[in-house]
Amino acid sequence: MALITSSKQTNKPQLRQSSKNVGFWEGQRLAKQRAYEKQAKKKKIKLADLCIFTQQLSSMLDAGLPLVSALTALEEQTEQPVFKIIIREVRSDVSTGTSFSEATKKFPRAFPNLFTSMVEAGEASGNLGGILGKVAAYFEASVRLAKKVKSALVYPAVVITLALVLVQVLLIFVIPVFKEMFEGFGKELPKFTQMVIDLSDFLKANIIFFIIGIVALVVAIKKIIVTPSGRRMKDKILRKAPVFGNLLQKIALSRFCRTYSILLTSGVPLLRSLEIVSNSSGNTFIEDACKDITRSVSQGGMLSEAVAENDYFTPSVKHMARAGEQTGNVEGMMNKIADFFDNEIDNIVAALTSLMEPVLIVFLGTVIGGLVIAMFLPIFNLAGAVS
């Protein structure tokens, strides 16, 4: 009996400790859940995740699965916790009688205007699955284009950043060692070497202010470019940039034509389509063009006339818009010109990628080699004097 009693007394603290652990982890889980629920209204879902969601939803609806059941399945499959909560809320609203488009409008950061407008058109036409398939194809093309551009820009950005860091390390830690050695020569240093040593002294004495200045500059630029005037100034500067200005213009025009085409094809009204294109463009030139086209069409004008008067549109866009109106197939022509721009973008990105490596090698050789030459010039001069 004594042994049994002792065993029960020993197990009680273990049970209490186990229950405390369970309560702790449950509290942590609930806290995370509440945090995710707060983020649901503000969280911007990645376009790649939204593309997968749209593709799967379209496939399920085309297979005959009810909308609520499809959303339930997607909620269970989604691994992103905030997106899972958003899908759950949308499913809950739809199950109580709210339309799918109205339910998604409660999360404007997760579902862009293009998505909700296309859903409205799908609900009105009774072909929600088919239209979501078009949206998924559009999102997939956008993701593919973004990856191509990023792949062309990430490599040079990483190499240049590493080069700048290496130069800073050389100037702050390595050059002072050579400086102490040169002071023992008792002779005047070459001008190039003296310039490098002066730059090293300046950076070493002001490194903290230099770092603070760079951080402050980056923060200031980020705050400026989100303002209307800052966005306009940024787009003007980028448009004039060599090579990249032409690339970014073609990307903006491709997105304009593709979005406009898919909206018209899905039955979205013309003026509403222009509004969505403007809001989703992220480009002030396209926004201004959409305003001009809306004004012209509202007054009885033609799309091609407004496009022809805007110098941001290339001649190919102007000709295709005019041909589309003459044949009654504007959306088809816009889709073709978007394909044309996508091919040109692929060619430009491929050319940039192939040319970037030798350019970066020359850049690194010039910068690092220049520092090495600056440090060894006095040694070469001294050796020549001794000989």
99 pLDDT above the threshold of 70: yes
Q: Which domains does the chain have, with CATH numbers?
A: 47-141 (1.20.81.30), 154-387 (1.20.81.30)
326: Cβ contacts below 8 Å, ≥ 6 apart: none
The distance in angstroms from the start CA to the end CA of the chain is: 103
Poorest-pLDDT segment among 11-20, 76-85, 253-262, 349-358: 11-20
32 pLDDT above the threshold of 50: yes
Spatial distance between the Cα atoms of 198 and 152, rounded to a whole number of angstroms: 36
pLDDT of residue 385: 47
What is the per-residue pLDDT across 52-92, written as a single tens digit (0 to 9) for each?
999 999 999 999 889 999 999 998 888 888 888 899 999 99
Spatial distance between the Cα atoms of 111 and 134, rounded to a whole number of angstroms: 15
pLDDT of residue 53: 92
Q: Please tell me whether the overall predicted TM-score, pTM, comes out greater than 0.95 for this model.
A: no
157: Cβ contacts below 8 Å, ≥ 6 apart: none
Poorest-pLDDT segment among 30-44, 146-160, 161-175: 30-44
